[in-house]
A and B are shown apart, each in its own frame.
Chain A
Amino acid sequence: MKPWRQWQIEEINNKDKLFPKRLAKIKAAPEKLYYRGNWDSKIFTKAIAVVGSRSMTKYGEMAVAKLIPGLVRAGYTIVSGFMYGIDTAAHKACLAEGGKTVAILGGGLNQLTPVQNDKLYSEVLDQSGLVISEYEPEEKAQLWTFPHRNRIVAGLSQAVLVIEAGEGSGSLITAKLGFDQKKSVLAVPGSITTSLSAGTNWLIRNGAILVTKAEEILEELGEEVTVKAKQLPLNLTEIERAIMDQLSKESLSADELVRMIKLDVVRVGQALSDLALKGLIEEAGDKYILGFKNAD
């Protein structure tokens, strides 16, 4: 794989024929963009912005894992902001599915932020994706440049999908820009007690479309959706079923499960390991939650 620094930085002017029309139309459209990668305007034909909190929770991670592959398979490009958290997860999920992804940086193209994404930068380019910035290559990211570049994230996309967002977070700015640009804004609902779902729930209350499956997003984007056959129920032991029952209501720690099911910790522990191996549950911090495999 070619390291990203070896890719030439190129420019594209908004007068250029290849400049995405969708982006040219927005308010305060950038006059020119710097980019690395092979510019192919087809990449923007079917594109969706995926944004969310930098401090992603396990729930956000699972939402990404559940929603993105379906979109990529349907031929969508994932546009995001390359920050850590949901952005990075979305880029990675897209790449893992073999898709193309576009990253809009908050700083110049030679300013790697965050540094952990060094490899991701190269991978995006390697899989015919693009890394774009409106700033001079050596310009450092500032606090204000991140919300500013969000208009490009929204502008390049047909719709904005918000996965997890706290109140007043940058993701909500992108969502608002999405509204302003008359695009569909989609949001993944969350628990009313989680601070990182407060933003997405607020969006839904204020006109965003609630989505829980890739199919629902595709439907919103005007795609034909074929309905999958339902999964067969699995063979579970009594304890396993009891655990699944409890976890379908809320996320719980092993200790809490022991108390609720009123069985000894040894047997509950064994069942938890079993369920986790089957992918039916996942560990999230010190709690367990339902795995996304069986959430449909």
Chain B
Amino acid sequence: MASNGLQPLEIEVEVNVASRGFPGFNIVGLPTKAVEEAKERVRTALVNSGVEFPQKKITVNLAPADIPKEGSAYDLPMAVGILVAAGEMPLPDKKKYFYGEVGLDGRLRHTRGVFLLASLAKEKRVTKVFVPKLAANEASVVEGIKVYPVNSLVELVRHFNQDKLIKPLKNLDRHELIEAADVEFDFSEVAGQEQAKRALEIAAAGGHNVFMVGPPGSGKTMLSRALPGILPELTEGEALEVTKIYSVTGNIEPGGGLVRRRPFRSPHHTTSRMGLIGGGSKPMPGEISLAHRGVLFLDEFAEYPRSTLEALRQPLEDGVISVVRVAGQMQFPAKFMLVAAANPCPCGFLNHPKRACVCLPGQILRYQKRLSGPILDRIDIHINVPFVEVEKLRQDSAATAGNDSSELIRARVKAARKIQEKRFSGEAVPAGRQGIFANGEMKNKQIKKYCQLSADAERLLQQAADKWQLSARSYFRLIKVARTIADLAGQTKIEYAHIAEALQYKVKV
């Protein structure tokens, strides 16, 4: 199998061992370096497995021949072809998939893309797939196929000779897997930061993007790491989408199967634009696609180059990223919650209770200007994450003992999400796009339709707009956040209190 982005393509490996001709080993069909080197791997692996390597002219064709092939997954089918030709094993009767890299000792290594292979098998009605044992769990989440985990070439030969059969893997129960996933970080472990926690609950409930400002060490990273745990569990469909991306990029650990937790990605600010949004001469998903259905955390937001952040705009709006390269155009899903974090000033200690800020006023001004780009316009919730004095917190430990656990918060989030799903179920879905599921995705038209304000809420909002000179955009953002707050409270109309709370999360810098 080859893949074009996330699109799998069946590749047939033809092996011919000619009875005449000078002994040799040739691979045709646009192999790249890794495929070319398969010769040596396969030859040595076979010899080390106790097979006499045929001293004949061997030609391997990878069909269709005009598509470039890369990766080490063609090792296994080549080896199987030679084994059959050498008379070590019978020709398998029905069509089967073989996939995986072999080691010099004849054992199979973990290979990426196994999940994609399994879904291709299902699509092409191929019922049996042979993959390296270390990656076999990935395939076993696909229903309707038999997955044979192979340890080594010797094992495979014995299997086909009916000597010792390999037991196929049981299909994993996806639903159970997802349910059983535990939370990485629990909100109840976060001391203090009451307002930030509440803001993240609202963000999770309404699918709003979040911007956090606070000095180093105040807990911005910890808070955002805890965020995936209060988002609703992945649905089966979502889990498969995520697993596919992770399988293709080789991000599933050996032995791992389905991705069960919502992803949390925190790329460093030196990550290139391609690394972030995806690309390459043969396009691969970037960090934003790896954060699909999860959280993309951009720490030191001000340090990212402008061009990188600009590139985030389209996926933030559409939930997919289109990458166009010579090799073709590709779409990768990229529906994520953006959590951006930044220091309040270049040195980080502005407003810090213990340490003095050493920045010049001009520096701070320039820094804040850099932050207020067009991306911040797409972020609904802005919060301060102030420095927490551990001593003080310890005194109030009684207060933190009553912290809500992530599970409890998640239950509230799910209830609010249910209301939203119902609200947007009647919305027309534009062709080629995904529908709306959460308040954070509302456009002005929908805001006007679904966000009725009570009379005094309206008045309060007007007052606030006058006092803080809110732009039209921030005005609508406030309403969106208030809508989610009202949903969390289970109310149909946006009341005074909801707007008042939403005002706490307006732009800070």
Contacts and interface: CB of A to CB of B under 8 A. Distances in A.
A117 to B, nearest CB: 11
A265 B198 contact: yes
B405 interface: no
Contacts of B195: 253-255, 258, 265, 269
B350 interface: yes
Nearest to B365: A116
B198 A269 contact: yes
Given A273-B503, A286-B386, A254 B351 contact: no
- How big is chain B's contact interface, by range? 35 or more
A112 to B, nearest CB: 13
Given A277-B463, A277-B464, A253 B384 contact: yes
B500 A274 contact: yes
Contacts of A55: 357, 360-361
Contact of A54 (B357, B361, B385): B361
Given A114-B362, A286-B214, A270 B386 contact: no
Contacts of A84: 361-362
Nearest to B467: A277
B504 interface: yes
Contacts of A266: 198, 501
Interface in B454-486: 460, 463-464, 467
A286 B386 CA distance: 6
B362 A285 contact: no
B356 interface: yes
Contacts of B384: 253-254, 285-286
Nearest to B498: A270
B142 to A, nearest CB: 44
Contacts of A277: 460, 463-464, 467, 503
Interface in A248-296: 253-256, 258-259, 262, 265-266, 269-274, 276-277, 279, 284-287
Contacts of B198: 265-266, 269
Contacts of B193: 255
Contacts of A253: 195, 384, 386
B91 interface: no
B346 interface: no
Given A85-B361, A254-B194, A255-B192, A269 B460 contact: no
B361 A286 contact: no
Contacts of B385: 286
A273 B500 contact: yes
Contacts of B386: 253, 255, 286-287
Contacts of B499: 273
A38 interface: no
B232 to A, nearest CB: 21
B395 to A, nearest CB: 9
A194 to B, nearest CB: 10
Nearest to A57: B351
B47 interface: no
Contacts of A262: 399
Interface in B378-411: 384-386, 388, 392, 396, 399
A195 interface: yes
Nearest to A115: B362
Nearest to A284: B351
A114 B360 CA distance: 12
A276 B504 CA distance: 10
A107 to B, nearest CB: 16
B31 interface: no
Main secondary structure of the interface of B (DSSP, over half): helix
B198 to A, nearest CB: 5
A287 B501 contact: no
Nearest to B193: A255
A56 B497 CA distance: 34
A221 to B, nearest CB: 30
B286 interface: no
A269 B361 contact: no
Nearest to B395: A259
A116 B499 CA distance: 35
Contacts of A256: 392
B501 A259 contact: no
A270 B501 contact: yes
B351 to A, nearest CB: 3
A277 B466 CA distance: 10
B344 interface: yes
B500 A269 contact: yes
Nearest to A56: B361
B194 A258 contact: yes
Contacts of A272: 504
A255 B194 contact: yes
B362 A269 contact: no
A85 B365 CA distance: 12
A276 B464 CA distance: 9
A262 B194 CA distance: 11
A274 B467 CA distance: 12
Interface in B331-365: 344, 350-351, 356-357, 360-362, 365
A54 B196 CA distance: 31
A255 B460 CA distance: 23
A258 B386 CA distance: 14
25 contacts: A55-B360, A114-B362, A116-B362, A195-B356, A253-B195, A254-B194, A255-B192, A256-B392, A259-B396, A259-B399, A265-B194, A269-B501, A269-B504, A270-B497, A270-B500, A270-B501, A270-B504, A271-B500, A272-B504, A276-B503, A277-B464, A285-B344, A285-B351, A286-B213, A286-B351
Given A255-B193, A273-B504, 16 more contacts: A55-B361, A114-B362, A116-B365, A258-B194, A259-B192, A262-B399, A269-B198, A269-B501, A269-B504, A270-B501, A272-B504, A273-B464, A274-B500, A285-B350, A285-B351, A286-B385
